[in-house]
Amino acid sequence: MDNFFDLVPLVVMIPLVGLLINLFAGRQLGERGVSIVAVGASGMSFVIAVLLWIAQVNTGYEAAVIDMPILSDWIVIPSANVTIPWAFRVDTLSVTMMLVVTGVGTLIHIYAVGYMHGDERFPRFFVYMNLFLVFMLILVTGNNFLMMFVGWEGVGLCSYLLIGFWFDKPGGVGWKNSDAARKALIVNRVGDFGLVLGVLITFWTFGTLDYYREGEAPIAHHAATDAEAPLFAPTLPGEEETHAVSGPLGVFNQAELWLEEGGHQVNFGMVSLSFETTLTVITLLFLLGVTGKSAQIPLFVWLPDAMAGPTPVSALIHAATMVTAGVYMMVRANVFYHAAEFSSFVVAVIGATTALVAGFIAVGQWDIKRVLAYSTVSQLGFMVAAVGVGAYAAAMFHLVTHACFKALLFLASGSVIHGMEHGHHHVSHGHSGHHDDDFDPQDMRFMGGLKERMPVTYWTYLFGTLALAGIIPFAGFWSKDEILLDSLKTGVDKGLLSGYVGFVLLVVAAAFTAFYMWRQVSLVFLGKPRHAAAAHAEESSRLMTWPLIVLAVLSLLIGFINVPSGFPILGWLLGEHQFTSFLEHSVTYAHAGTFSFLLATFAVLLALGAIYLARSVYSDRVLATLREDPLAINPRTQRAFALSSAKLYWDEFYFKYLIYPYRNAAYWLAEQLDWRFWHDYVHERLLRDPFNAATRALSGRVDKQVIDHSFDGLGHATRRIASRLRRIQTGYVHIYTMSVLFGALLVMILILLPLIRDWLGL
C-alpha cells in the first residue's frame, strides 16, 4: 500500500494531460470527444484519490511526502543553502480535499456537458475547467507554502477566465461579465498581497516553507541533537544564531518546539519580535488572503458577481474549489492559529459577522444564483468562524458537506435557468409569437409552479435546501450544529469572548439561512407560474439531472461520516466522529464534538420556525398576485428589506470611498500631473519651448547674422582682392619681362641684404 502514495502526482498530471489534449485537438474531437477527455480526466483523478484514501487507511494514516523526479530541486539557492522541492504531501487532510475536489468536480463536469451543449467555445470551456482542477489539486497536495501559492494564484486565474467566459454576449451583458471577472481578479489580488507577506515572513522565521519534512508526524517533538539549523531561525535574547531546534524540521514542527520551549525571538533587521507575536502577524496576514479567496468581510464583494459565469463554473467555484482554499489553508496552519489567540479571535469575529451579513443580504435578492452566492459567503463564514474558535475538524466537516449540497443547489439552479430559457424560447418562437425583452431567466419573479414542470430538479433542490437549512438528518444538520456547539463550548468552557460572539451571530445567521432558502423554494417551485416561460419550462436532460440525484443522495448521507459522540443508536451503528478521527492524524489540534440534544433541538426548531415564517410570508395566495416582495411593502420590514436588497450598499460604499477616489486620483495623475504638468509644462514649456527658442536664435541670429555674414564678408573681400589682382594680367610680353626683371632684382637684394647691412655698418 505504501507504493500507492507514489500515484499522487497523477492526480494533477491527468487533468493536465486532458486539458492539453482538448487545447490542441478539441475542435477535431467535437463535443463528444472533448467531453470524454475532460470528464474522463477528472474521473480518473477521483479514482486515484480514492486509492490514496484506501492507502491512508491501510497504512495506519501515515503521512507521506512524494518528490517529483524532475522537480525534486524545484528552487535551489546554493549560496543561502535553500532548497524548495516540488513535493506532494499525502495525509488525511490533503486526501479529504482531493476527494472533494475531484469527486464533486467530476459531477460538475458531467453536468456541464449537457449545460454547455451547443456553445461555440465548448472545447475552451473544458480546457479551463480541467485547468481549474489542476491548480486546485496543486494547492491542496503541495507540501510547502510556495507550492500552495502556485495553486492559489492558479485558481484565481481560472476564476477570471471562467467568470468572464461569456464576455461577448450582446446587449451589454458581455461587458458586465468581463467586469465581474476583473472584479474577482482585482479583489483577490488585494488579499493575495497579505498572503505573500505572510509566506515571506514564514520563510524568514523558519528558513523553510515545508509544512513537514518526510518522516515527521504532525505533533512530533524531536530532540535537539546533531541538527541542521534553519536558515533564518529565531534567536534567544542576547544570543546570535543560537538554534534550539535540530534536524531539518518543517514549519509546523519547528513552531511546536519553539512554542514549547518559549522565549524565542525573531529578528527583522533592527526590529526583534517574540515568536508568539510573529505568529500573530503571520496569521493575520494569512487571514487577509482568506478574506479574498474565501470571500469574507471586507473582500467578499467579488463572489456574488461571479455568477456572471456559466452555472457549472458557479458550482465549481462555490462548492468544490476556489472559495474553500482559504479554509483549507487555515486548517493546515492550525498550529499557528492555535498559538495566536488574538488572530483566532479576529478570525472568529470576521467569520461570524460575514455569515450574518451575507445571510441578511440573501433575503432581499431576486436572482436565483445570487441568493445562493450570498449563501455561500454565509456558509464560508461558518467555516472561518469555526477555525477562529478552534473547531478545525468542524470547519473541514462543514466544508465537505457544504461542497455536496451547495454544488447540488447551484447545479439545480442551473437546471431551473435552463428550463426557463427553453420555456421562453417556446413562447417567443412558438405559436403565440410572444416576445418579452424584459424577461430574465434567473429572476425568481418570473418563475413559480416549476414543481410540476421540473419534478427531478424540485426534489433534488429540496434536498439541498433542507441540508443547507440544517434539518435532521440532512448533512448540514450535523456539520452546522457541530460548529454552533464548539462555539458555545469555547465561550462557556474556556471563557473566550470569541465563542460567545460566534455562537450568537451564527445562530441568527442560521435562522436567516432557513428563511431565505424557503423563500427561494416558494418563489421558484411553489404556487402557479407567473410567466409563460415558467408555464412551458421543461425538465433538463439526464446528463444534467443524474449529477443532481447523486448530489442529493450525498446531501442526505454524507453527514453520517461524523456522527457526534453520544448520539443515540447512530453512534453505535456507524461509529462516533469517524471523520474527525481521520483528520486528527494530520490536523494537530482537531478535536471531536459531542452531541447536545438541547442545542440540536433548538437549532432544528429555529430552522423549522424560519421555514414556517417564510412559507407564511410567501404563501400561494401571495405568490399568485406577486408584484413586489411582501417584505418590501410591509411597513415593519420595508426598511430592512430595502437594505437587504441594496446589499447594505456595500458596493456603493466601496465605489464612493475607494473606487471613485481611486479613479479620480488616477485621472488627476494622468490628466493633470502627467499630461498638463509633466507633458505640457515640463516637456513643452521647460524643455521644448526653450529648446525651440535656442534653435531659432542659433539658426537666425547666430547662424544667419553672424556666421553667414562672416563667411559672406570673407567671400566678398576675396572677390574684391581677386578683381584688383586680375588687373595686373595685361597680356603684354614686355610688361611680364619687366615684372620678372624687377622680381629677380628684388630676390637678389633680399639675398645680398645681410652683406649690405654689414658694409654699411648697420
Grid coordinates standing for 341?
Answer: 489567540
Q: Which residues pair with 268 in a beta bridge?
A: 271
pLDDT of residue 724: 81
pLDDT of residue 2: 67
Identify whether 298 is preceded by a cis peptide bond (ω within 30 of 0). Answer: yes
The Cα angle at residue 700 between residues 698 and 706, in degrees rounded to 5: 80
**Could you read off the pLDDT of 533-554 as tens digits, one per residue?**
888 889 988 889 999 999 999 9
- Strand bridging mode 271-274 / 265-268: antiparallel
Which residues are CB-contacts of 164 (< 8 A; sequence separation ≥ 6)?
177, 178, 180, 181, 182, 308, 309
Where do the structural domains in the chain lie, given as residue ranges? 1-143, 344-644, 650-728, 737-762
SS3 at position 565: strand
Q: How far is CA 312 from CA 33, 105, 226, 308, 760, in A?
A: 19, 9, 54, 11, 127
Confidence at 706, pLDDT banded by 50, 70, 90: confident
pLDDT at 19 over 50: yes
pLDDT of residue 222: 34
Cβ-based burial of 543 (10 A; exposed 0-12, middle 13-18, buried ≥19)? middle
Which residue reads 407560474 in cell numbers?
529
pLDDT at 310 over 80: yes
Q: What is the mean pLDDT of residues 273-279?
A: 93
Q: What is the pTM of this model?
A: 0.86
**Rg of the Cα atoms in the chain:** 39
SS3 at position 274: strand
Q: Which residues pair with 142 in a beta bridge?
A: 88
Which range, of 77-91, 159-173, 298-312, 605-619, averages the lowest pLDDT? 77-91
SS3 at position 399: helix
Confidence at 612, pLDDT banded by 50, 70, 90: very high
**Could you read off the pLDDT of 50-108 as tens digits, one per residue?**
999 999 999 989 899 998 877 777 888 877 777 888 999 999 999 999 999 999 999 99
Contact 264/272 with Cβ under 8 angstroms?
A: no
SS3 at position 213: coil
Best CA proximity match to 63, nearest among 85, 84, 88, 46: 88
Please give the residue that has the higher pLDDT: either 394 or 308. Answer: 394
Which range, of 5-14, 260-269, 392-401, averages the lowest pLDDT? 260-269
Confidence at 248, pLDDT banded by 50, 70, 90: low
pLDDT of residue 234: 43
Which range, of 3-12, 115-124, 721-730, averages the lowest pLDDT? 721-730
SS3 at position 87: strand
Cβ-based burial of 558 (10 A; exposed 0-12, middle 13-18, buried ≥19)? buried
Alpha-carbon torsion 474, 478, 483, 489, what sign?
positive
pLDDT at 221 over 50: no
pLDDT at 242 over 60: no
Q: What is the mean pLDDT of residues 686-690?
A: 84
Confidence at 713, pLDDT banded by 50, 70, 90: confident
pLDDT at 236 over 50: no
Grid coordinates standing for 221?
Answer: 517533538
Cβ burial 372-410 (10 Å sphere, 16+ → b, else e) = bbbbbbbbbbbbbbbbbbbbbbbbbbbbbbbbbbbbbbb
pLDDT at 433 over 60: no
pLDDT of residue 621: 86
The number of beta carbons lying within 10 Å of the beta carbon of residue 636 is: 8
CA dist., res. 393 & res. 582, Å (int): 10
Confidence at 219, pLDDT banded by 50, 70, 90: low
CA dist., res. 320 & res. 314, Å (int): 10
For the chain, what is the mean pLDDT?
A: 88
For every residue of 64-85, DSSP letters joined together read EEEE-SSSTTSEEEGGGTEEE-
Confidence at 434, pLDDT banded by 50, 70, 90: low
DSSP H helical ranges for 364-474: 368-388, 392-429, 450-453, 455-469
pLDDT at 239 over 70: no
pLDDT of residue 762: 66
pLDDT of residue 437: 59
Q: What is the mean pLDDT of residues 365-384?
A: 94
Grid coordinates standing for 239?
Answer: 544570543
pLDDT at 220 over 60: no
Q: Which residues pair with 273 in a beta bridge?
A: 266
The number of beta carbons lying within 10 Å of the beta carbon of residue 477 is: 21
Q: How many residues does the chain have?
A: 762
Contact 308/164 with Cβ under 8 angstroms?
A: yes
Consecutive H or E run containing 89? strand 87-90
DSSP H helical ranges for 430-541: 450-453, 455-469, 475-494, 497-525, 532-535
CA dist., res. 239 & res. 371, Å (int): 57
Q: What is the mean pLDDT of residues 600-624?
A: 93
Confidence at 374, pLDDT banded by 50, 70, 90: very high
